[in-house]
Structure 1
């Protein structure tokens, strides 16, 4: 629906829906949809519970990053702390939990930066972006089977790492893009 209560002329309407795969994290669906021209089409997509990503600012202005192995691409990536939203979990509560578990920090100041949709062509995943300041180290509590290295980059170093290809993770780039104007005043 548009702001005037009219249906979007590009909207596709679900006619039927079936579960193709029901995994631990991901669910794959195949829907038959009514297209804007009155014909039918098929849409396959991944259902994802959503996630958070946090730009965490240390007292000296440095930003916390993680280096974590990502199996689908068979290599380690540099990314901001992030994690999956549990069923019924508030997004801020998730961000607080993930920063504590993965990086070992608590923050006194939180700001929601917005949302990004990383793969709109084949998934319903959303990632809620946060800025965390006034950090206090409390020690991490990684999930079983989770392995990562922490590193710190200045905002300028992080931006340069995006431009030179050392940071390619979409949620990290989006979170930095939203946070950098605030970090630079």
Structure 2
């Protein structure tokens, strides 16, 4: 297969024009005019996002480090894994380390990249890289001035129960729970690397 050609040309939409609708402190929204596979035109409005990282932190006793925080758009306190947006020019692992330290105060001896998810493919370019961390040591958190959260721990069984009964509905955390379940069962193997050997 020619890598220069899309795998499914009969499904591809081609952008003809892009208009900026909003550029805020956090959100950047655009509207594309696209040519559809049948030659007609349509518009696509979506959020342009730099990407993010989620960390699944494993304590030595098997518990998980998680967070509880208010999520204003849905008006609820959510339980989720630590995560955050990539800064300009920042690599995934650097973001994972920074977010884990800033939000929870933990640093890790070992890291492993698990995979990637796209949480809202219908209206955002966002991707979230999934990283596992272990060999944790805790220090003080370094939250942003407008950031308020509670660091909690949960066993894998408590996490799965929360996913099952609807107490945990955050999409990235649900995907993280799937990864955790497969890793703990031995079905999916991670390539762990010592912090000292990583860039």
Shift in Å, 1:183: 2.5
Q: Please say if residues 113 and 179 of structure 1, whose CA atoms lie closer than 8 Å, have aligned partners that are also in contact.
A: no
Matched, 1:102 2:103: yes
Matched, 1:127 2:136: no
Q: Give ranges in structure 2 of 5+ residues lacking alignment.
A: 187-199
CA 1:179–1:3: 2 relative to 1, 3 Å: farther
For residues 119 and 12 of structure 2, the distance between their equivalents in structure 1, rounded to whole angstroms, comes to 20
What is the Cα-based RMSD across aligned positions, in Å?
1.2
For residues 51 and 4 of structure 1, the distance between their equivalents in structure 2, rounded to whole angstroms, comes to 27
TM-score, normalising length: structure 2: 0.89
TM-score, normalising length: structure 1: 0.96
Q: Please say if residues 130 and 175 of structure 1, whose CA atoms lie closer than 8 Å, have aligned partners that are also in contact.
A: no
Q: Please say if residues 105 and 136 of structure 1, whose CA atoms lie closer than 8 Å, have aligned partners that are also in contact.
A: yes
Deviations 1:65-120 (A, max 9, x none): 10000000111100001111101100000000000000110011111111100000
Shift in Å, 1:180: 2.0
Matched, 1:162 2:163: yes
Map 1:117-156; keep pairs closer than 5 Å.
Answer: 117-156=118-157
Q: Give ranges in structure 1 of 5+ residues lacking alignment.
A: none
Map 1:21-36; keep pairs closer than 5 Å.
Answer: 21-36=22-37
Shift in Å, 1:59: 1.1
Q: Which moved more, 1:175-184 or 1:119-128?
A: 175-184
Q: Please say if residues 117 and 126 of structure 1, whose CA atoms lie closer than 8 Å, have aligned partners that are also in contact.
A: yes
For residues 133 and 120 of structure 1, the distance between their equivalents in structure 2, rounded to whole angstroms, comes to 30
CA 1:56–1:18: 2 relative to 1, 3 Å: same
Shift in Å, 1:173: 0.7
> Aligned pair count?
184
